[in-house]
């Protein structure tokens, strides 16, 4: 190359630097936010209302401060692992199992008739039915969080899983065969790569939240939540359950031990059906007439379609802009919004329903 010819490689590096995309230390990146920005830029059925986002950010920040929302809020729930009573390794195994199966609990039935788990004198629905079922199984001597058990096709059967998640109503937990398949695959991967225990998977990430998300997506197909959108060659990475696994570890250990991540702010909000629901009810997002009608009529929205992709980080950014130095990340914001929409439902407030997509991804 002569002195007169441009150094194309150097120009590419300079361009990346100016765009804020150059990482000289090769720190892991999940690519989730990049994909979300692409969908946002090309979405035609879902849009953001910027003024409402600013107002919501102010209101959410005030409420989170008032309620002193923190990782301890998560770990203090009676169903989540109590680290005073179990080992750290057992807590990691519980969280891994929980998020391995953390998908699709919505029901078209009434609160009285929908799938529910009775445990410790209470009736649990939705996500909490999963956690209650796991705790109940452990109490009954079923090693549901043990990867050796998942690989035993004679012991860990569909009938056993039905017993673990038996309902106190006539409705069964959705997607039980798919949940069994997730357990089987995870057991095999842990056996082949991580000496049969998820703590070794966490250790392999070297304290990086993004690194752990990438390991989960690389090694476990059931965590690889990637989809094609509008002909884009590179798949859109959503990685809801991989990210929430990292978030739950961070919350369970309150940022220490197996929850100590040096880049926890790289975790985004989790693209499920509850967060779009509350953001819509707060006026932060709005839908095209056709999509709005489909959601209000509780029609099934196919997995991987254009509507579903568009429904899946501006609030957090706005909070930080308004309140520099605030100790908040997308994880706490997501937990808060999820809890808030559940409280609104329990209080009988009139809200627009969430979209309905039956999927292992959320």
State the number of CA atoms in the 13 A half-sphere of 43 facing the CB: 22
Locate 254 and state its tokens.
């309150």
Angle, CA 139 vertex, CA 251 and CA 244 arms, to 5°: 25
What does the alpha-carbon distance between residue 167 and residue 214 come to, in Å, rounded to a whole number? 35
Strands 285-287 and 46-48: antiparallel
> Alpha carbon 224 to chain centroid distance?
12
Catalytic residue among 219, 225, 272, 334: 272
Is 257 catalytic? The answer is no
For the purposes of burial, counting CB atoms within 10 Å of the CB of 156, is it exposed (0-12), middle (13-18) or buried (19 or more)? buried
What does the alpha-carbon distance between residue 262 and residue 245 come to, in Å, rounded to a whole number? 16
15 Cβ neighbours under 8 A, 6+ residues apart: none
Q: Which residues pair with 122 in a beta bridge?
A: 119
Q: Which residues pair with 236 in a beta bridge?
A: 227
Q: How many other β-carbons are positioned within 10 Å of the β-carbon of residue 362?
A: 22
From residue 251, give the alpha-carbon distance in Å to each of 123, 226, 295, 344.
24, 25, 32, 24
Residues acting as catalytic residues? 272
């Amino acid at each position: 190359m002569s002195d007169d010819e441009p150094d194309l490689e150097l120009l590419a590096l300079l361009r990346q630097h100016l765009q804020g995309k150059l990482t000289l230390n090769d720190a892991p990146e999940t690519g989730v936010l990049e994909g979300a920005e692409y969908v946002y830029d090309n979405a035609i059925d879902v849009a953001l209302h910027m003024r409402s986002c600013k107002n919501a950010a102010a209101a959410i920040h005030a409420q989170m401060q008032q309620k002193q929302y923190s990782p301890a809020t998560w770990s203090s729930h009676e169903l989540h692992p109590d680290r005073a009573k179990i080992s750290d390794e057992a807590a990691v195994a519980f969280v891994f199992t929980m998020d391995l199966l953390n998908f699709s609990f919505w029901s078209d039935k009434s609160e009285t008739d929908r799938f529910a788990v009775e445990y410790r004198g209470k009736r649990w629905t939705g996500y909490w039915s999963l956690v209650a079922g796991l705790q109940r199984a452990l109490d009954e001597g079923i090693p549901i969080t043990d990867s050796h058990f998942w690989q035993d096709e004679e012991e860990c059967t569909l009938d056993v899983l039905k017993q673990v998640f038996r309902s106190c109503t006539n409705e069964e937990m959705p997607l039980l065969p798919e949940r069994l398949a997730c357990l089987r695959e995870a057991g095999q991967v842990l056996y082949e790569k991580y000496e049969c225990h998820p703590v070794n998977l966490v250790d392999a990430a070297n304290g990086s939240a993004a690194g752990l998300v990438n390991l989960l997506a690389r090694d476990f197909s059931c965590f690889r939540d990637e989809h094609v959108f509008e002909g884009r060659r590179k798949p859109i990475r959503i990685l809801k359950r991989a990210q929430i696994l990292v978030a739950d570890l961070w919350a369970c250990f309150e940022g220490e031990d197996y929850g100590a991540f040096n880049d926890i702010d790289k975790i985004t909000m989790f693209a499920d059906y509850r967060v779009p629901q509350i953001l819509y009810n707060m006026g932060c997002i709005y839908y095209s007439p056709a999509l709005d009608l489909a959601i209000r009529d509780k029609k099934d929205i196919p997995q991987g379609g254009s509507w579903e992709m568009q429904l899946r980080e501006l609030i957090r950014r706005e909070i930080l802009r308004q309140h520099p130095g605030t100790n908040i990340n997308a994880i706490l914001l997501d937990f808060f919004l999820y809890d808030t929409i559940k409280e609104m439902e329990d209080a009988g407030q009139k809200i627009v329903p969430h979209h309905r997509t039956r999927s292992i991804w959320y």
